[in-house]
Amino acid sequence: MKPTLVVLAAGMGSRYGSLKQIDSIGPDNETIMDYSVYDALRAGFGKVVFVIRETFEEDFKTKVTNRFKNQIEVEFVYQEVNTPIEGITNLPERAKPWGTGHAVLVTKNIVNEPFAVVNADDYYGVTSLKLVGDFLRDSADTRTCAMVGFQLNKTLSDNGYVSRGVCVQDDEGMLVDVIERTKIYPEDEKVFFEDGEKKVGIDPKSLVSMNLWGFHPSIFDHFHKHFIRFVEENGHNPKAEFYIPLLVNDMIQSGELTCQVLPSQEKWYGVTYKEDKEEVTKAMLQLSEEGAYPGSLWG
């Protein structure tokens, strides 16, 4: 069974200031998502599911999926701010979406095979989708998921702070903990984060989560159970978000799940800030000139 790629594209980047998911960054006006889908096809994925908001579906199809809809099965699922979840009769009203875990959960009824999760606005590199695709075919089961880990110094922006989930592994390469660090930045070939008023150094080769995950479809039952509990405990907090790394962390600590870390040597690119776009565009052009991608992904 071919795995499925789930692309989280319902969010609007507040720092970036626009619908960055459909910005052109490739030589033939490709979006970052085009590269994720292209790499997934090369890695043997059979379907892609986009989690979007219904209000921009037509623009999304015109700009993105119409280019490759004949090359891979494409489906859409809507994540609105308060998309209902079975088992919760009174989902609290709020202005902010419930987070990436909720975005995955809304795909439950159409994803029946092992699947990978990616962010729409993150470029993960030529080999990263192959890493998780191989895992999904060979190793994913009801007790084991995977997370592709990237070296911290290959995931930074020169244009501002970033937040990253720093991974702690055991001797067998299994994830033990994800520690959220905020306000991370490079300085003089070193990397620091701010802890309150303190400036703290951090190993630039630390592995971090960039939200590239591999799951067996049985994970939906866990997500569902944990989301119900999350809403019960955090429904009064309009800023609380049901994040995938925190959810996986909780399941590891409770013994429900183990998570294999798949180290990637790729450089991550993303558009956290508007100023990042120029660097990403140059990088995609260079990868094309080096032969990693054709000049036009979809010909």
Is residue 118 included in any domain, yes or no? Answer: yes
**Is a pLDDT exceeding 60 seen at residue 12?**
no
pTM, full prediction = 0.94
HEC string for the chain: CCCEEEEECCCCCCCCCCCHHHCCCCCCCCCHHHHHHHHHHHCCCCEEEEEECHHHHHHHHHHCHHHCCCCCEEEEEECCCCCCCCCCCCCCCCCCCCCHHHHHHCCCCCCCCCEEEEECCEECCCCHHHHHHHHHHHCCECCEEEEEEEEHHHCCCCCCCEEEEEEEECCCCEEEEEEEEEEEEEECCEEEEEECCEEEECCCCCEEEEEEEEECCCHHHHHHHHHHHHHHHHCCCCCCCCCHHHHHHHHHHHCCCEEEEEEECCCCEECCCCCHHHHHHHHHHHHHHCCCCCCCCCC
Residue-number span of the structural domain to which 228 is assigned: 4-149+209-289
**Is a pLDDT exceeding 50 seen at residue 233?**
yes
The CATH number for 278's domain is: 3.90.550.10
Q: Total domain count for the chain?
A: 1
Is residue 252 included in any domain, yes or no? Answer: yes
Is residue 182 included in any domain, yes or no? Answer: no
Which residues have C-beta within 8 Å of that of residue 192, sequence separation ≥ 6? Answer: 184, 185, 186, 199, 200, 201, 202
- Residue-wise pLDDT for 139-166, tens only, equals 999 999 999 999 999 999 989 999 999 9
Confidence of residue 15 (pLDDT cuts 50, 70, 90): very low
Is residue 196 included in any domain, yes or no? Answer: no
Is residue 187 included in any domain, yes or no? Answer: no
Is residue 203 included in any domain, yes or no? Answer: no
Residue 17: per-residue pLDDT: 43
- Which of the residue ranges 2-6, 80-84, 254-258 would you say has the lowest mean pLDDT? 80-84
